[in-house]
Chain A
Amino acid sequence: MKKYIILVLLITVFACQQKPKKNGKLQVVTTTTMITDLVKNIGGDKIDIQGLMGAGVDPHLYKASEGDVSKLFNADVIVYNGLHLEGKLEDVFEKMRQQDKKTIAASDAIDTATLIGSEYFASNYDPHIWFDIANWEIITQYITDKLCEFDAENAATYKKNGANYLKTLASLKTTIIQQVNSLPIEKRILVTAHDAFNYFGKEFQFNVVGLQGLSTATEAGVKDVQRLANFIEEKNVKAIFVESSVPKRTVEALQEAVRAKGKEVVIGGTLYSDALGSRGTAEATYIGMYKHNVKIIVNSLK
């Protein structure tokens, strides 16, 4: 009887090997909210976009749901960050690439020499590349080119949108530089839950200290907390920050540890690190997220 069940199932598999119909638009599946936002800006209404990860979802810890199967299956193009940010998903994308699915890894655009190395992270590079606006500009250009290649019909629109977005990014950069410059160099110390802000630090001369290391999967040890508490006391840091996709607990533990030393450090606010804000808020876009983070950082550390 078992054999018959298998046989019937096998027959149905081979009988149903055709793809479903689409509405003619390029079907794009993206991973993180940052990538989704970027591709939306470039593709505009010429593409149908489906983001796998929602707001507040930590890409390191993302779990697939049933709906994601159909999204991936029906996708014409898949855009992802890479550098092991998406964990196991990337292996899947690698395999799909071998089967002639069109995939774009945003991190491919960046020269490895400019990446920040890491001894913790699996690929040995820090994957939080979007916090360097210069990187994001390169990636914008890269994804634009790729989309033009995959969908030549709408290439003109993609080019126009891409160029517009590059302009927005340039003006964002000017605004951010202005804001950051109001903060003296010695006050530019950013203490957060995990090391997501190294690219940000590199671009704007911040000393970035993370409690947990790069991957949010590892937990901070007692020693890490003590070491960081000493550091905060020594450098007289005014504020530390929590992140939207990492539990508050560890940062609160740090605050307690500093308090035990007889010093006060405030939690400056919630920074968006591995995911953008919820839909409908200003922080749901890359631009809004960046402005929000910098405003909070600068105001709390002043």
Chain B
Amino acid sequence: MSSAQIEIQLIASIVAIACAIPGTFLVLRKMALISDAISHSILPGLVLGFFITHDLNSPLLIVMAALSGVVTVVLVEFIQKTRLVKEDTAIGLVFPVLFSIGVIMIAKNANDVHLDTDAILLGELAFAPFDRFLVDGADLGPKSLWIIGTILLITIGLLFAFFKELKISTFDAGLATALGFSPIMIHYGLMSVASITIVGSFDAVGAILVVALMIAPAATAYLLTDNLKRMLVLSVIFGVFSAIAGYWLAHWLDASISGSMTTILGIVFLLVYLFAPKRGLISVLYRNRQQQIEVSLLTFLLHLNNHQEISERHINHLNEHINWRRVRSKSVLDLALKNNMITIDKSIISLTDKGKNFTDKAIDYIITNDHSKIESIKEDFFLFRG
């Protein structure tokens, strides 16, 4: 590995961490789209900053851009408060306007400055190691590493200082107000951090990767945990993993680095979405199926309970009577047998004591609809989980 390669991975990893932290809160507040909006609407701020300083590397550009990020949020909320449109519509109205104002300002006044949309939306990670931070001729590493590193330190500092406030205002704005700190202030503070992170990262990695790094790791972590701290840690891990794995995918394919990282982010999300133990698609489907069979089992046991006559309890009769397909009847029968709820004697099915007990309790529950009863059934008999 050359030092350029290591530096790219390092920059990408730090950007990933810096994005995952505000990203987690944005996802929890259902404001993921705002990061995309900010990434576009910072353009007029950048252009104004450039008009004032005439220097593309001035920190004022970052400040102005962050300000226009906050302006975006203010405008979105303003439009949203009229209650004429929904939040996503408001976002969709605001950022194209701001972005296009930026584009027009460039077209009119700064055509020969490299402030174009391409440079802003698709920064180039491949070139980041060549833009060095030089002090008196001493090479102190890539410039973007310093910029994004500083932003990360500030973000981590703010996170530790305001963790409690952030947590409460995210989950219960009313409580936050009651406790005496303004959720509005926390909200704008968070948006400012998100804006600054986006601005600080776009030159190095491009706004599209920034948006992906803000949303995808947090959304992935959200599938795995309900605990805020754990979600933050998981987001960071997913972000860094995708950054590094994406780099090596790009290396292997000789392809765009940002593009590969975004691809890995998507793949990681997809895998977790499919295989997450609780909220994953497969486990949800599996649980639904289990429930279906449990209900069938109950129906079957109730049927047995209601019919003492032998003809009704013949194994073949069940197929016709309850109108089940053969496979389903078989799986229900197997389940009941395995749990010792029935016995089969010469194709005649009878309930065991345990089965009888279970059925009575179930009937009890159905009649009274008392939740405490079903809980005890689950504990006594639990079919699949026991």
Contacts and interface: CB of A to CB of B under 8 A. Distances in A.
A124 B3 CA distance: 37
Contacts of A5: 13, 17, 240
Contacts of B253: 66
B139 A70 contact: no
- Among B8, B10, B127, B247, find the residue whose CB has the most chain A CB atoms closer than 10 A: B127
Given A17-B3, A99-B139, A72 B130 contact: yes
Contact of A124 (B17, B112, B122): B112
B370 interface: no
A69 B141 contact: no
B126 A20 contact: no
B2 interface: yes
Contacts of A10: 10
Secondary structure type dominating chain A contacts:
helix
Interface stretch (A31-39, A86-94, A154-162): A86-94
Q: How large is the interface on A (under 10, 10 to 19, 20 to 34, 35 or more residues)?
A: 35 or more
B225 interface: no
A113 interface: no
Contacts of B294: none
A88 B2 contact: no
A88 B130 contact: no
B130 A92 contact: yes
Contact of B118 (A20, A89, A95, A217): A217
A56 to B, nearest CB: 17
Contacts of A217: 116, 118
Given A95-B130, A122-B112, A9 B257 contact: no
A16 interface: yes
Nearest to A88: B119
B250 A13 contact: no
B6 A88 contact: no
Given A69-B5, A70-B5, A88-B127, A95 B112 contact: no
Secondary structure type dominating chain B contacts:
helix
Contacts of B111: 120, 122
Interface residues of B, number: 44
Interface in B329-355: none
A178 B4 CA distance: 51
B250 A65 contact: yes
Contact of B130 (A13, A20, A96): A96
Contacts of A122: 111-114
A69 B118 contact: no
A74 B2 contact: yes
A89 B4 CA distance: 16
A98 B135 CA distance: 12
B5 A91 contact: no
B284 interface: no
Interface string A87-115: 11101100110110000000000000000
A1 interface: yes
Interface in B228-260: 233, 236, 240, 247, 250-251, 253-257, 260
Interface of A: 1-2, 5-6, 9-10, 12-13, 16-20, 63-70, 72-74, 87-89, 91-92, 95-96, 98-99, 120, 122-124, 217
Given A13-B141, A68-B126, A99-B139, 6 more contacts: A12-B6, A18-B3, A64-B126, A64-B127, A73-B2, A92-B130
22 contacts: A5-B13, A6-B13, A9-B6, A9-B10, A13-B3, A16-B3, A17-B3, A64-B257, A65-B255, A65-B256, A66-B250, A66-B251, A66-B260, A69-B8, A69-B257, A87-B114, A88-B127, A96-B130, A99-B134, A120-B111, A122-B111, A122-B114
